[in-house]
Amino acid sequence: MADPSDRVVLVYGGAGGIGAEVGKRLVSAGDRVVIADLNEAQARAQAAALMASGGQAAGVACDITNPELCERAAQAAVDCFGRLDGVVNCAGISKPHDSISLPPADWARMVDIQLNGPFYAAQGGAKRMWETGGAIVFITSTNAEAAFPRRAAYCAAKAGVAMLTKVLAIEWAQRRIRVNAVGPAYVDTEMTRRNIEAGNVSEARIRERIPLGRLAQPGDVADAVTFLLSEKAAFVTGQSLYVDGGWLAYGYF
């Protein structure tokens, strides 16, 4: 999976967390990376850091809920590096809320970022891989399979992405565009830390619940993403790979 390549990969939400780690892994394998993020300054800073490490990278602004901006980000990859071979969507938010009082605007915002955005990102990327083939990887969650309280919009959207993965995979297979997803359990990122500090979840209970006894690290997820982008996964499409330390398998009290 670390074999040198010359791919061009667009990483949405690549300025921090899982996305930043994905970018690092891809650059270390010889890929050229475009970081797309809502925060343009952070996207450019992350791209600069990748270039300082010896890689080729560029940073662009993108609000993933805007299909036009997703198109622009995909075209920016082509303009910068001549083509597009892969798309990874790591953009996301977390905002637990009691369902009975969940404001409609919060529901809509969550679905817009977690479900509509991945579709726009995939669509924009696929148009530029239509003649050459490529690979798309979504970041979903164990919440695509396991329901958590106070996360109705999040769980529904992630389940939607799992099915979107399958639909796009079978539609675009003849174009040699593979579509897969990686679904982590809790990952030790800034977003997870904020939820722990806010009391939305207990780190001790997470560790007790996961058979491997720890939170996932961004690198655990990035390894799965880089595998699914690679030729080692050339016959893998329409799948959700859960990087969860055994969370979904564990049903014992």
4 has a pLDDT exceeding 50: no
**Residue 239 backbone dihedrals phi, psi, to 5 degrees:** -110, 150
Q: What is the DSSP letter of 29?
A: T
Crossing angle between the packed helical segments 67-81 and 117-127, to the nearest 10 degrees: 40
User: Mind listing the pLDDT tens digit for each residue in 37-91?
Assistant: 999 999 999 999 999 999 999 999 999 999 999 999 999 999 999 999 999 999 9
Active site residue 250: no
Residue 2 — pLDDT band, cuts 50, 70, 90? very low
**34: closest CA among 54, 55, 53, 60?**
60
Query: Could you tell me the pTM of the whole model?
Result: 0.95
Q: Average pLDDT for residues 111-125, to the nearest whole number?
A: 98
> 120: which 2 tokens?
């726009």
User: Mind listing the pLDDT tens digit for each residue in 55-67?
Assistant: 999 999 999 999 9
Helix, strand or coil for residue 243?
strand
Helix (H) or strand (E) holding 36: strand 32-37
Residue in the block written with tokens 């982590």: 184
In this predicted structure, what is the pLDDT of residue 191?
85
169 has a pLDDT exceeding 50: yes
CATH topology of domain 8-242: Rossmann fold (3.40.50)
State the first-to-last Cα distance of the chain, in angstroms, to the nearest integer.
37
Q: Are 105 and 133 in contact (CB under 8 A)?
A: no
Average pLDDT in the chain: 95
> Cα angle at 113 between 110 and 114, to 5 degrees?
80
- Of the candidates 120, 154, 186, 242, the residue annotated as catalytic is 154
CA 52 and chain centroid, separation: 24
5 has a pLDDT exceeding 50: yes
